[in-house]
Amino acid sequence: MTALPDADEVIQQCLDLDNPRSFFLYAGAGSGKTYSLVEAVRGFKRRAHEQLTVEGRQIAIITYTNAAAEEVMRRLEHDPLVWVSTIHSFAWEMIKGFNDDIRAWLRVKLAKDIDELERKLSKAKGDNKTSRANKAERDRKIKRLDNVEHVIDFTYSPTGENRGHHALNHSDVIGLAAAFIQQRPLLDVLVDKHPVLLIDESQDTMAALMDAFLVVQAQASDRFCLGLLGDTMQSIYGHGKQHLDSAVPPDWAKPEKIYNRRCPVRVVELINAIRAQVDKHQQKPLDDAPAGTVRMYCVRSQPASTFEVENQIANCMADLTHDPAWKTGMDGRKTLILEHKMASRRMGFDDMFVPLYQVEHLRTGLLDGTLSALRVFLDGVIPIIQAAQIDSFQLMEVVRLRSSLLSQERLATAPDQITTIDQARAGTQDLLALFVDNDPLIQDVVGVLLRTQLLVVPERLQAAFEMGATTADFPESGDREVLEVHAYRLLIGSPFSQLNAYAKYCSELSPYGTHQGVKGLEFPRVMVIIDDEEAAGFLWSYEKALGVKLPSSADLQKEAEGADNALTRTRRLLYVTCSRAQESLAVVFYTQNPEAARQSVIKAGWLREEEIEVL
């Protein structure tokens, strides 16, 4: 049998300014994809450093998250020859300043959206929640279309709220970049500036933008290298290009990293079995990989009993693996769950989380921690409280960096700087006084911030405070502002301690993680929680994927057609979570029929009979 060529060597051969060759690197879980990315760039820089510098060109790398971008930049020592960014930042850098073209594109896009909403409204059966939401959305787009003509300079922030008629939203920027970069002159600008473009987690790059990159490569293949790194089995989000591997042209290089450098033998065997139903890619454990331990516990679903059961299972794993760290509570293991709402219930921030999660346009900012209504607490209040527990010098520095009262602009225009400084000091004392032997409500904290002007409170959070906290259901409205303010009114009635728990979760210090948030991460001891009922999601179903329930005819038809469906999505999620384990893995499956679950998993060949226990 002929040995496969080393993937890293193949990539180095592709990165050649005189004879570039595009490539798709298949890198399964734990195979060292980031290492290959960094080493490829280092080798290319050594060969092409002088030419890139003289010509003023850069290697471009697109990563999925800011954290991933920072890690790649750190490993490459922040070299100015390499530009690392998220997809949204990259897209904006490509299109910003093309204001006339942006305006023309928005005219067409908004008119099309309005026509589609009008069509839906014409088919609506009476006045209902959906029709009211469509009407509000149509009116918003009509207003925006009118305002577009008056915008001189469009703005955008990859991490901001992007409000105002001059601001583009995230989907606008992706759509604009996809439309513009595959046409000249922007195609030539991209290729001339970045002769090498490497896309990490390429399977989750928005489909429209990936199509555009493929067009660019086809048009400039003799002077442009497009490198796609990823694994279609680890595609978690629905916006990626379907069947990306088959869309790659046949003349591309297709190196493959087949060794799993993270997982023990038994985990590699499990994820290979999960994957065998999807494609032919299989991994090998390292020669010196430990055997490892995998167990599944099938538990009959019982409301409110989950935490106790999970602790019992952790104790079982400690005895089974002779690893006492399993018994040290949540700090001894990483618990991976299906949905963020499951984490909020386990960590005790449900009251503040659920209302914001229910408002669709707040959801992304809530999940990645960038929502401005929460940043005032996460970046302002919590650091002030923490600094006060250290010493007065630390407290003074934290307040100086965060308080709007002490900004350079404010102090420069203040008639009396001493009075302004005293105001900041008094505001800080009032804020800290709330937390003396007390867990204040969020609305109490907002009240102090507004009264003292210590920190800037976002406009809609201020509006919620002025209207007062509430426990009422959401109003029947499609107006985004109405829904957002109501969510904040529900939020501010929660104890501030829930924001502390949420902050810990967002900063990845939490012992819990979601299926979506752990790609690229690894942990010695992993507990995967499977509970379709608690997650209440409709995009996946473990009971169907594991054979406990029959899949729907629609899912079976989609699978036969090669289309994404609940079964394929669930297998990918299970693959991602199980492949995080470095030493031992426990899968906890809550189901109404635990014995059927056990038999199905054994029949599928995923686990052996002695590795599954019914509780």
Paired tokens of 537? 């999601």
Share of the chain above pLDDT 90, in %: 32
Rounded Cα–Cα distance for residues 107 and 179 (Å): 14
SS3 at position 259: strand
Mean pLDDT of 209-235: 90
Q: What is the DSSP letter of 6?
A: P
Between residues 417 and 517, the one the model is more confident about: 417
pLDDT mean across residues, the chain: 84
Q: How far is 605 from 614, CA to CA, in rounded Å?
A: 17
Q: Please identify, in words, the CATH class of the domain defined by 7-94+178-257.
A: alpha beta
Sequence-ordered list of residues with C-beta below 8 angstroms from that of 164, at least 6 positions apart, any chain: 155
Tell me, what's the pLDDT at 253? 93
How many DSSP H helices and E strands does the chain contain?
29, 14
DSSP 353: H
Side-by-side strand order, sheet with 59-63: 82-86, 59-63, 196-199, 225-230, 23-27, 256-257
Select, from the ranges 267-271, 378-382, 386-390, 396-400, the one with the highest average predicted confidence (pLDDT).
267-271
Question: Would you state the pLDDT for residue 1?
Answer: 37
Beta bridge partners of 83: 60
| pLDDT per position as a tens digit, 570-593 | 788 888 888 989 999 999 888 888
Nearest-10 crossing angle of helices 170-180, 99-123: 120
Single out the residue of 382, 388, 520, 515 nearest to residue 445, CA to CA: 382
Q: Give the mean pLDDT of 493-514.
A: 75
Q: Which residues pair with 296 in a beta bridge?
A: 587, 612
Q: Say what the pLDDT of residue 538 is.
A: 52
Coarse DSSP helix, strand, coil percentages of the chain, rounded to the nearest 5 percent: 55, 10, 35
The answer for residues whose C-beta is within 8 angstroms of residue 543's C-beta and 6 or more apart is: 532, 549, 591, 597
Phi/psi at 46 (5° precision): -60, -35
Burial label for 77, CB within 10 Å (0-12, 13-18, 19+), is exposed
d(CA 253, CA 98): 35
The pLDDT value recorded for residue 302 is 66
Measured CA to CA, the distance from residue 416 to residue 423 in angstroms comes to: 11
Averaged pLDDT, 179-199: 92
Long-range contacts of 245-250 (CB under 8 A, 24+ apart): 245/24, 245/26, 247/210, 247/214, 248/24, 249/22, 249/214, 249/217, 249/218
Residue 609 DSSP class: G
Q: What is the mean pLDDT of residues 398-423?
A: 80
190 falls in which pLDDT band (50, 70, 90)? very high
| pLDDT (mean) for 423-433 | 90
Q: What is the band of 10 on the pLDDT scale with cuts at 50, 70, 90?
A: very high
DSSP per-residue string spanning 377-410: IIIIIHHHHHHHTT-HHHHHHHHHHH-GGGSHHH
406 versus 439: which is more confidently predicted? 439
Tell me the domain boundaries of the chain.
7-94+178-257, 99-176, 265-338+515-614, 350-506
Q: Residues with Cβ < 8 Å from 14, sequence gap 6 or more? A: 20, 21, 22, 23, 225, 227, 253
Residue 70 pLDDT? 85
User: Does the pTM exceed 0.85?
Assistant: no
* CA distances, 152 to each of 88, 102, 181, 197, 484 (Å): 22, 11, 22, 31, 29
Residue 537 or 57, more confident: 57
Higher pLDDT, 128 or 456: 456
Q: Please list, in sequence order, all residues whose beta carbon lies within 8 angstroms of the beta carbon of residue 100, skipping any fewer than 6 positions away.
A: none
Is 125's pLDDT higher than 80?
no
Percent of the chain with pLDDT over 70: 89
The set of residues, in sequence order, having a beta carbon less than 8 Å from that of 314 and lying 6+ positions away, is 326, 327, 332, 333, 527, 586
Instruction: Please write the tens of the pLDDT for every residue from 238-260.
Output: 677 777 888 889 999 999 999 99
Question: Given a cut of 70, is residue 508 above it in pLDDT?
Answer: no
Specify the amino acid at residue 68.
Answer: A
- Is the CATH code 3.30.70 the one for domain 265-338+515-614? no
- Give the start-end residues of each E strand in 138-292: 196-199, 225-230, 256-257, 259-260, 284-285
What pLDDT, on a 0 to 100 scale, did the predictor assign at position 2?
A: 42
